[in-house]
Each structure stands twice: as structure tokens, then as C-alpha cells.
């Protein structure tokens, strides 16, 4: 069964450093998403991406965040200058277009720890 | 302001039916309601998705009233391995922004 994969599983960084979180969506999917989950809290939407551009972004997704699909398979989330409050699990998801096929499938997540 | 609320927690015994309701007051008119299961330190796992009325698959049923301002996930006969957090996910009306519910922590007891 195809699945979304994410790397690394755990990233530790110093405050102010840049991080890039990587995702490989399901191969025939065209919509891509990033979410985050702070420890003990619910999952929060960050951004949706389609046709090489951002469709929607939340208030959390400020100028420190960017997304990119650098090639035909990867989808990345970059945080330019990490803050302590960026520590969270980051989940990538993908979905296929179509009336009955827009279910978002999530990856296992990357745990980001900012020190 | 969109609010997507769920009961914080529920306890159940093995073999019982569990119903978890999500209230979503500003749902997109043309998008689906999806329910996920999440275990600690894992990504949300798809359970079921529906648009209106009732949907059933091999693990759950989903009931959606006509106004679509709420939905109820029904797990027919829970087992210990169903202990997890359950979330609804909806799209915010007029957008491609998605809102997770507040999550319901289900504990299944032997």
C-alpha cells in the first residue's frame, strides 16, 4: 500500500538555524500539505500546495516558513530561523484530486526539537 | 470563527459501541468530513470519510445530519487496540484550509 514518507524522523537544531523537513508524497497525488502538532495539542494546518504554488496558508505559516517541490517526488518545508516555539511534530500529507479521492494521507512525522 | 469541537475524552469497555461527535459550525459546503485515529508519536491514520447521511466501511460508520454542522464516528465493537485519540477534519468554508477537531482521547478498558 502506498504511503507518505518523511525524513528525518527526528531533527534537533539550535535556535536561529535553518531546517528543511522532507516528505515524499504518494506518487499519483497532486495536493500536498504540512501540519504541525505541538506536544499534547491538536494537529494544526500550516499550508496546502497544488500545481507548484501555495493554495492556502494559516496564520502560523509566516515569512519564516516556505514550501517547495524541488523535483517530481519531494515536498519540503523550510523554517528559515527556528524559534523555541517551533518545536513540534511536523506532518506531511497528500491527496489526489477528484470527488471521492480527496482523502489526505499522512506521513509518520518529523519531530523537531529547537534548543 | 470556525470552531471544530469534540469531547475531550471517553472511556469504554471492550466490545462496546463508541460514538464520538464532532461539531463543525463553518464547514465548506462541497468538502468531505474525514475522521482519523492517532497513536502517540505517529501520524493521523485515516478511518472514514463522508459527505452526508451515513457511510460505513469495515472499521467504522459515519453519520452526518443534513445541515452537516456535526458528524458522529461510530466504532462498533471496540478493542484495547482502539485506545487512541480520534480527530475529525473539515475544510473551512470557502477555503482550502483544513481544521482538525480538538480530538477525543478514547480509552478502552478490559
C-alpha grid cell for residue B97? 484550509
Compute the count of residue pairs across chains A and B with CB atoms less than 8 Å apart.
52
Span B82-107, pLDDT tens digits: 999 999 999 877 777 899 999 999 99
Tens digits of residue pLDDT in B42-62 = 999 999 999 888 999 999 999
Decide if pLDDT at A102 tops 90.
Answer: no
H/E element holding A73?
Answer: none
Q: For residue B44, give the nearest of A43, A56, A102 by CB distance.
A: A43
Q: CB of A111 within 8 Å of any CB in chain B?
A: yes
B99 Cβ under 8 Å from any chain A Cβ: yes
Residue A49 to residues A19, A45, A52, B39, B52: CA-CA distances in angstroms?
Answer: 19, 12, 7, 26, 27
Facing residue for A42 by CB, picked from B42, B46, B100 = B100
| Measured distance CA(A35)–CA(B84) in Å, rounded | 19
pLDDT bucket at B81, cuts 50 / 70 / 90: very high
CA B26/CA B90 separation, integer angstroms: 9
Q: Which of B30, B44, B45 to mutate to test the interface with A (most CBs of A within 10 A)?
A: B44
Closest residue, chain A, to B95 (C-alpha):
A56
Average confidence (pLDDT) over A30-54? 93
Q: What is the mean pLDDT of chain B?
A: 91
State the average pLDDT over residues A88-95.
Answer: 96
Nearest to B34 among A44, A55, A104 (CB): A104
Assess whether the previous peptide bond of B83 is cis (omega < 30° from 0): no
Whether residue B43 contacts residue A91, with contact meaning beta carbons closer than 8 Å, is answered with yes
Query: Which of the 8 DSSP states describes residue A111?
Result: E
Closest chain A residue to B102, measured at CA: A42
Q: What is the pLDDT of residue B16?
A: 97
3-state secondary structure B20-50: EEEEECCECCCCCEEEEEECCCCCCEEEEEE
Amino acid at each position: 500500500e502506498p504511503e507518505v514518507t518523511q525524513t528525518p524522523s527526528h531533527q534537533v537544531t539550535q535556535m536561529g538555524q535553518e531546517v528543511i523537513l522532507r516528505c515524499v508524497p504518494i506518487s499519483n497525488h497532486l495536493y500536498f500539505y504540512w501540519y504541525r502538532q505541538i506536544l499534547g495539542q491538536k494537529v494544526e494546518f500550516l499550508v496546502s500546495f497544488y500545481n507548484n504554488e501555495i493554495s492556502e496558508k494559516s496564520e502560523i505559516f509566516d515569512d519564516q516558513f516556505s514550501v517547495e517541490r524541488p523535483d517530481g517526488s519531494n515536498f519540503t518545508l523550510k523554517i528559515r530561523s527556528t524559534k523555541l516555539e517551533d518545536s513540534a511534530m511536523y506532518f506531511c500529507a497528500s491527496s489526489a484530486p477528484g470527488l471521492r479521492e480527496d482523502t489526505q494521507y499522512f506521513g509518520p512525522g518529523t519531530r523537531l526539537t529547537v534548543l | 470563527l470556525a470552531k471544530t469541537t469534540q469531547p475531550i475524552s471517553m472511556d469504554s469497555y471492550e466490545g462496546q459501541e463508541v460514538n464520538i461527535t464532532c461539531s463543525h459550525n463553518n464547514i465548506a459546503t462541497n468538502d468531505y468530513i474525514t475522521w482519523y485515529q492517532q497513536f502517540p508519536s505517529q501520524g493521523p491514520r485515516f478511518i472514514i470519510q463522508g459527505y452526508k447521511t451515513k457511510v460505513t466501511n469495515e472499521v467504522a460508520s459515519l453519520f452526518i445530519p443534513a445541515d452537516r454542522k456535526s458528524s458522529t464516528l461510530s466504532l462498533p465493537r471496540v478493542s484495547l487496540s482502539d485506545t487512541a485519540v480520534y480527530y475529525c477534519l473539515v475544510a473551512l468554508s470557502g477555503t482550502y484550509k483544513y481544521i482538525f477537531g480538538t480530538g477525543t482521547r478514547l480509552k478502552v478498558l478490559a
